Amino acid sequence: MLIGCILLALACMGLGFWAWAQRRSLRSAARQLRALEEGQSTARVRLAVPNGAAEALLDEVNRLLELRQADQSAYRQRERALRQQIANVSHDLRTPLTSILGYLQLLDDPGLTEAERREYLSVVEGRAKALQSLITSFYDLSRLEGGEYPLQREQVDLRAQLAGLLASFYSDFTEKGFDMDVELDEALPPVWADPGAVLRVFTNLLRNALDHGEGRMEIRLYQEKGWVVSRFSNETRELTEEDVPHVFDRFFTSDKMRTGRNTGLGLAIVKALADQMGCRTEAALEGGRFRITLYWPAARRLGAG
Q: What per-residue confidence (pLDDT) applies to 14?
A: 56
184, 221 in Cβ contact below 8 A?
yes
| Residue 293 and residue 182 share a domain | yes
C-alpha 174/C-alpha 184 separation (Å) is 19
Picking from 145, 165, 194, the residue at the C-terminal end of a domain is 145
Look up the domain containing 247 and give its range.
154-302
* pLDDT per residue as tens, the chain (305 positions): 666 566 555 556 655 555 555 566 656 656 666 665 655 555 555 555 455 556 666 666 667 667 777 777 777 877 776 676 667 667 667 777 888 888 888 888 888 889 888 888 888 888 887 777 777 777 777 777 777 778 888 999 999 999 998 988 888 888 889 999 999 999 899 999 999 899 889 998 998 888 888 888 999 999 998 899 999 999 888 777 888 888 887 666 555 444 444 445 788 889 989 998 999 999 999 888 899 999 999 886 444 44
Identify the sign of the CA torsion 255, 257, 259, 261.
Answer: positive
The reported pLDDT for the residue numbered 32 is 60
Same-domain check for residues 124 and 183 = no
How confident is the model at residue 51, as a pLDDT? Answer: 58
**Residue 103 · residue 122 · CB < 8 Å:** no
Residue after which a domain boundary falls, among 123, 145, 167: 145
106 domain-assigned: yes
Residue 277 and residue 223 in one domain: yes
Judgement on whether residues 81 and 102 belong to the same structural domain of the protein: yes
The answer to whether position 19 is within a domain reads no
Which CATH number belongs to the domain containing residue 136 in this structure?
1.10.287.130
Would residue 274 be called left, alpha or beta, if left means φ above 0 and alpha means ψ between -120 and 50 degrees? alpha
- How is 71-87 classified by DSSP, letter by letter? HHHHHHHHHHHHHHHHH
Is the domain of 167 the same as that of 252?
yes
Question: Is residue 170 a contact partner of residue 132, using CB atoms and an 8 Å limit?
Answer: no
Question: Measured between alpha carbons, how far is 152 from 98 in angstroms, rounded to an integer?
Answer: 39
| Residues 283, 216 within the same domain | yes
Residue 48 phi/psi, 5-degree rounding, is -75, -30
Percent of the chain's residues with pLDDT above 70: 69
Question: Of 101, 116, 145, which closes a domain?
Answer: 145
Q: Are residues 168 and 272 in the same domain?
A: yes
Which of 113, 134, 281, 298 lies closest to 222 in space, CA to CA? Answer: 298
Asked if residue 190 belongs to a domain, the reply is yes
What is the secondary structure of 12-32 as a DSSP string? HHHHHHHHHHHHHHHHHHHHH
What local confidence, expressed as pLDDT, does residue 303 receive?
Answer: 42
Contact 213, 178 (CB under 8 A): yes
pLDDT computed for residue 68 by the predictor: 72
Q: Are both 125 and 159 inside the same structural domain?
A: no
Domain count for the chain, please give it.
2
Q: Per residue in 27-61, pLDDT tens?
A: 665 666 666 565 555 555 555 545 555 666 666 66
CATH number at residue 198: 3.30.565.10
Q: Are 162 and 231 spatial neighbours (Cβ–Cβ below 8 Å)?
A: no
**What is the structure's pLDDT at 4?**
59
